[in-house]
Structure 1
Amino acid sequence: MDNQARIEKMTKLLSEALDPTHIEIIDDSHLHAGHVGARSGKGHFTVKIKSKQFADLKTIKQHQLVYKALGDMMQTDIHALVINSSE
């Protein structure tokens, strides 16, 4: 799967699970060329997401919701993920 297809799948999964008011996914993989983790073919991404589901949750809990929404992709398609989350 190429990274554009991964971004589309990530967007779909996050949208379905968290009903975000804003979502942006950036492919950072090019910044990690030659990095050991990049050799696996998995991507490096930044997710900027706002969701009312994050209200009154500490950052760690917000990130856990993102990881849960992405499910197996965290094992199969994503090597590194930076999450910027807010309500």
Structure 2
Amino acid sequence: MTSPATGPVAAAITAQLTAALAPSHLEVINDSAHHAGHMGDDGSGESHFTVVVETPAFIGLSRVQRQRLVNNALSELLQTSIHALAIKARAPGE
């Protein structure tokens, strides 16, 4: 089951994306329960996430450029805390 993310890693994701992208809509979804016991599961319950981000910063950018902005904003967490990240990135009105 997918659940809203509320732990420290989820809070850091929210804070970093908010600071970097000023999103008009942001959802951080913890998908870790789907991957319990699999490779990359560190037992923290916060290793796999989906982010849904809508921001004017994405206007005119390709899907790859949008994902790079998200990955750059979360680069430290991707190296230390996040094993897997699914990104749904859109500009307002899409």
Please, which moves more after superposition, 40-49 or 15-24?
Answer: 40-49
Query: Is residue 2:62 matched to residue 1:65?
Result: no
Amino acid of the structure 2 residue aligned with 1:68: N
| Aligned residues between the structures | 85
Identity level (%): 38
Query: Is residue 2:5 matched to residue 1:34?
Result: no
Structure 2 residue matching 1:68: 3-state secondary structure: helix
Higher helix share: 1
Q: TM-score scaled by structure 2?
A: 0.85
Amino acid of the structure 2 residue aligned with 1:66: V
Provide the residue aligned with 1:14 in structure 2.
17
Q: TM-score scaled by structure 1?
A: 0.91
* Aligned CA-pair RMSD: 1.4
Please, which moves more after superposition, 3-12 or 18-27?
Answer: 3-12
Amino acid of the structure 1 residue aligned with 2:17: L
Contact map agreement 2:36 2:43 (CA 8 A) in 1:
no
C-alpha displacement at 1:63, in angstroms? Answer: 0.4
After TM superposition, what 4+ stretches of structure 1 lie above 4 angstroms from structure 2?
none
| Equivalent-residue separation in structure 2 for 1:6 and 1:36 (angstroms) | 18
| Equivalent-residue separation in structure 1 for 2:15 and 2:37 (angstroms) | 29
| Equivalent-residue separation in structure 2 for 1:8 and 1:80 (angstroms) | 16
Provide the residue aligned with 1:46 in structure 2.
50
Amino acid of the structure 1 residue aligned with 2:26: I
Provide the residue aligned with 2:3 in structure 1.
none
Amino acid of the structure 2 residue aligned with 1:55: I
| Equivalent-residue separation in structure 2 for 1:71 and 1:36 (angstroms) | 20
